[in-house]
């Protein structure tokens, strides 16, 4: 699995969440990563069906 997409999302958010605790930051990062993977899953499935 390619986690580059996580870095592209988490890095821009890092400055906004500076005042949050590291535990909150990790929770937010995990949540956004999960949302991205859920958004990508149907696209990947569709691509596999085409091949």
CA distances from 33 to 4, 23, 51 (A): 11, 15, 26
Whether the CB-CB separation of 33 and 8 falls below 8 Å is answered with no
Whether the CB-CB separation of 20 and 28 falls below 8 Å is answered with yes
The residue that leads in pLDDT, 44 or 17, is 44
Of 13, 11, 6, 14, which is closest to residue 35 (Cα–Cα)? 6
CA distance 47 to 49: 5
Give 13-41 pLDDT, tens digit per residue.
Answer: 556 656 667 788 788 888 888 888 888 88
Given pLDDT bands bounded at 50, 70 and 90, which one contains residue 1?
very low
Residue 2 DSSP symbol: -
Its domain, for residue 36, covers 4-50
Q: How many domains does the chain have?
A: 1
């Amino acid at each position: 699995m390619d986690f580059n997409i996580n870095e592209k999302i988490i890095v821009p958010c890092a400055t906004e969440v500076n005042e949050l605790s590291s535990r909150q930051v990790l929770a937010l990062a995990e949540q956004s990563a999960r949302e991205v993977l859920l958004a990508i899953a149907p696209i990947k499935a569709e691509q596999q069906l085409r091949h």
